[in-house]
Amino acid sequence: PKKQRHEVKRKLRRLWEAGNVNYRCLQVSREVGDFIDTFLKLFPLSREEKAQFMTAQMESFFRSLAETMAEIGLLRFGILELDVVPAAMIMGFDYNDSMYLYNSAYDPKYSHLSVGLLSKVLCIKESIQRGRKKWDFLKGGEPYKYHIGGKEVPLYRCRIKIR
């Protein structure tokens, strides 16, 4: 709604005033090394739950997933930099006319600038500019998703037993 749009604009203005801001959303089709390294460095800093989640086994999974999705041309990283320092990143998948947010990370020293939220807002804007019709947050009921216009879509599981 209008109040949320106003709040996002206010946060964006505050971010632009804080320093030299650069946002890039890149399709990664070859070497994912630097991008995934930066993402995995920021990920456990974001929240304590993310730090506990990112075991060596999960890190290996994320790297493998990134490499596989890059090989088939679906991987995108959104990088929000402040004064040339990565402040927040998103990892997502670009398929047909949709962008799917897989996960995100940010440096908490920039949390007062809402870099986690704004990295998603800027990625949504960039996706619209590229002609995407849908931006999917995927699973999870985090409040920020609703604050920037996310809506729940019911998913159903159907099992048919054939005798």
Q: Which residues pair with 135 in a beta bridge?
A: 99
Domains and CATH numbers, the chain: 2-147 (3.40.630.30)
Residue 131 region by backbone torsions, left for phi larger than 0, else alpha for psi between -120 and 50, else beta: left
Give every strand in the sheet of 75-82, ordered side by side.
Answer: 21-27, 75-82, 85-95, 98-106, 134-136
**Among 41-45, 109-113, 151-155, which is the least confidently predicted range?**
151-155
End-to-end distance of the chain based on CA atoms, in angstroms? 51
Q: Quick count: other Cβ atoms within 10 Å of Cβ 39? A: 22
- Cβ atoms within 10 Å, residue 67: 16
For the segment 4-58, what is each residue's pLDDT rounded down to a tens digit? 778 888 998 999 999 999 999 888 777 777 889 999 999 988 888 888 888 899 8
